[in-house]
Amino acid sequence: MSETPTDQLWQLSASEASRRLADRQISSVDLTESCLDRIAEVDDRISAYITVTADLARQQAADADRRIAAGEATPLTGLPMQIKDLLCTNGVATTCASRMLAEYVPVYDATAVSRLREQGAVLLGKGNMDEFGMGSSTENSAFFPTRNPWDTARVPGGSSGGSAAAVAAGAAPFALGTDTGGSIRQPASFCGVTGLKPTYGRVSRYGLVAYASSLDQVGPIARDAADCALILQAIAGHDPRDATSLPDPVPDYPAALTGDIKGLRLGVPSEYFAEGMDSGVRAAVTAAIEQLADLGAEIREVSLPTTEYALAGYYIIAPSECSANLARYDGVKYGYSYQDDGPGDVDMWEAMERTRQHGFGPEVKRRIMLGAFALSSGYYDAYYHKAQQVRTLIRQDFARVFEEVDALAAPVSPVTAFPIGDRTDDPVRMYLVDVYTLPVNMAGLPAMSIPCGFVRSNTDQGLPVGLQLIGPHLSEGRLLNIAHTYQQATAWHQQRPEI
Ligand code: GLN
C-alpha cells in the first residue's frame, strides 16, 4: 500500500494515514475527499450515517493541513472520523436516532469529541444507531436500519451499528461508539472490526446523551488494536465536567503494544461457552485462544458462576436508569414537542403524554415502562435492589478470577450477524445476543472485540466472528497489547467486505 492512489486513500488504517500525514506524503484534504467519495459510493447500501458533514469536513481538513504544514500536528491531526449520533457535536445535529431529538443541534461538543477535534481530527458525520443506544441491531433507529457490509440482508449489530459498518466498509477510518451493555464490542464483532470499551470512567461521559449512566462508556471502533490505542490516547483522562471520570494518569497506550505476551495468564470462562452458541463461533474463538497460547499465553479455565444472572440484572438496572434519564424529554426542555406540532389546545399533562407517545419508538417505551415498574414502591426491593445485589456478585466473580489471571478470552456474542427482521418480534431473543458483553459493563471493566475468523453463510465471504478480551480495571494497555500481538500473527482484521 506504499503508493495508494489518491482516490483509494479511504483504504488506509488510521495509524497508516497518520504516519503519511505526518510525513506529508498525503494531505488531509485528499484523504477526507476520498472518504467522502467512499461514503457516497457505499452509504446508500449500508446507511451507516444519519448526517454527513461534507462541507465542514472539507474545512476542517484544510485547517488540519495548515496545522501540519506549521509543524503543530499531533498523531490525530487530519484524520477523518465518524461519531455515533449519541455524542454531542457543536453545531451538528445529534439525534440519538430518535424522533424526539430529530431537530436537536447541540451548542457544545462532548468531551471525547472535543479532545479529538482539538487534536485536529476531521468530522465526516454522525453514525446511525439504535434509538438512544437501546438495541443490538441498529434496527431500532427511528430513521432507517443500517446494513452489514458483509451481507446487506443482515444487521450490523448495535447499538453502534452505523459506526462499525462505516469502519468495515471504509466509509470512515475510525469512529467513536458507546457501550452500555455491548454496543461497541458486539457491532465490531458482527462487522469484522476492532472495538474497545474502556474501564467505566476512563473516558468522560460529558456530552454523551445518557442511557444508563452507571454503565455507559465511550470508546473507539477502528481497523485494528494499534488504531484503537491511538484514539484512546486522545480521548482518555479526567474531565472535571464528569464527576465519574477517573483521576488516574493516562498511560502511553501505543507504547504498550510490545507484541510480547509471553507468560500472560489468560483465563477462559467456561460459562461463556454455553449451550445454544453457534458452532462456527465456538470453533473460531477456540482456535483464537489456541493461537494466543502459541504466542506465549498460559491458558487456564476459570469460572464466573454469576454469569447466568447478568442478563436479568442488566435488564432491571439499565431500564431503571433509562426511565430516570429519559424523563427529561417532556416536550418543554429539549427536542420534539407535541404542543408545537399539535393543535396547541391540550393541557400540560396531555401535551407531555403525546410528546412521549410520538417522540419515542417502541423499544424505548418498553425500557421506560420496565424501569418505572422496577423502581416503583412495592417492587423496588424485589427487582431493583435484587439486581444491584446481582451486580455486586458479578463484580466479585471478576475480582476473584483476576487474582489468578491477567485477562480473559471469550466470545463477544454467541451468534454472528443475523438477518434483518429476524429478532425484532422477540425482545428476549434480541437481548440474548449481548449475554457475554453485559457482565463487563455491570463490573465496569475494559474489554475489546477483535476479529478472529469467519463462519460460513449464504455469501461467499462468510460472516465475521469476534474474540472478546476482558481485563481488570484500567488494563486497557494490556488488552490492546494482547489484541495487537494476535493481530501481528493473524490477518482476520485485514479482511474487508466486498462492497
Ligand atoms: N443491547 C443492549 C441494550 O439494548 C446494550 C446496548 C448498549 O450497549 N448501548 O441495552
137 lines ligand 1 (CB under 6 A): no
pLDDT tens track for 191-207: 999 999 999 999 999 99
- Does residue 297 lie in a domain region? no
Distance CA 324, CA 496 (A): 41
pTM: 0.97
Write the residue with the smallest CA distance to atom 5 of ligand 1: 181
- Does residue 361 lie in a domain region? yes
Q: Are 172 and 204 contained in the same domain?
A: yes
- Domain housing 419: 6-267+406-494
Confidence of residue 338 (pLDDT cuts 50, 70, 90): confident
**Atom number of ligand 1 nearest to Cα 180:** 8
pLDDT above 90 coverage of the chain, percent: 94
Q: Are 317 and 438 contained in the same domain?
A: no
pLDDT of residue 346: 84
Q: Quick check: 344 pLDDT over 90? A: no
Distance CA 15, CA 225 (A): 10
- Does residue 278 lie in a domain region? no
pLDDT of residue 29: 98
The CATH number for 240's domain is: 3.90.1300.10
pLDDT of residue 247: 97
Q: Quick check: 105 pLDDT over 70? A: yes
Q: Are 460 and 372 contained in the same domain?
A: no
Distance CA 158, CA 305 (A): 27
Distance CA 71, CA 470 (A): 38
179 lines ligand 1 (CB under 6 A): yes
**Atom number of ligand 1 nearest to Cα 183:** 8
- Does residue 395 lie in a domain region? no
Q: Quick check: 466 pLDDT over 60? A: yes
pLDDT of residue 296: 98
Q: Are 97 and 170 contained in the same domain?
A: yes
Task: Report how far ligand 1's centroid is from the alpha carbon of 189 (Å).
Answer: 15
337 lines ligand 1 (CB under 6 A): no
The number of folded domains in the chain is 2
**Atom number of ligand 1 nearest to Cα 134:** 4
Q: Are 435 and 466 contained in the same domain?
A: yes
Q: Are 322 and 471 contained in the same domain?
A: no
pLDDT of residue 341: 65
pLDDT of residue 459: 87
pLDDT tens track for 276-291: 899 999 999 999 999 9
Q: Quick check: 1 pLDDT over 60? A: no
Q: Are 263 and 327 contained in the same domain?
A: no
Task: Report how far ligand 1's centroid is from the alpha carbon of 20 (Å).
Answer: 37
Residues paired with residue 179 on neighbouring β-strands, in sequence order: 217
Q: Tell me the average pLDDT across 322-341.
A: 89
Q: Are 200 and 326 contained in the same domain?
A: no
Q: Are 232 and 196 contained in the same domain?
A: yes
Task: Report how far ligand 1's centroid is from the alpha carbon of 446 (Å).
Answer: 16
Q: Are 99 and 146 contained in the same domain?
A: yes
pLDDT of residue 376: 93
Tally of CB atoms within 10 A around 254? 15
Q: Are 378 and 413 contained in the same domain?
A: no
pLDDT tens track for 114-173: 999 999 999 999 999 999 999 999 999 999 999 999 999 999 999 999 999 999 999 999
- Does residue 280 lie in a domain region? no
Q: Are 176 and 215 contained in the same domain?
A: yes
- Does residue 289 lie in a domain region? no
Compute the residue count for the chain.
Answer: 499
pLDDT of residue 343: 63
120's CB contacts (< 8 A; 6+ apart) are 60, 63, 64, 67, 73, 74, 76, 77, 78, 79
Look at residues 353, 388, 423 and tell me which one is the last residue of a structural domain.
388
Mean pLDDT of the chain: 96
- Does residue 293 lie in a domain region? no
- Does residue 277 lie in a domain region? no
Give the strand pairing for 49-52 and 122-127.
antiparallel
66 within 8 A of 59, measured Cβ to Cβ: no
pLDDT of residue 345: 75
pLDDT above 70 coverage of the chain, percent: 99
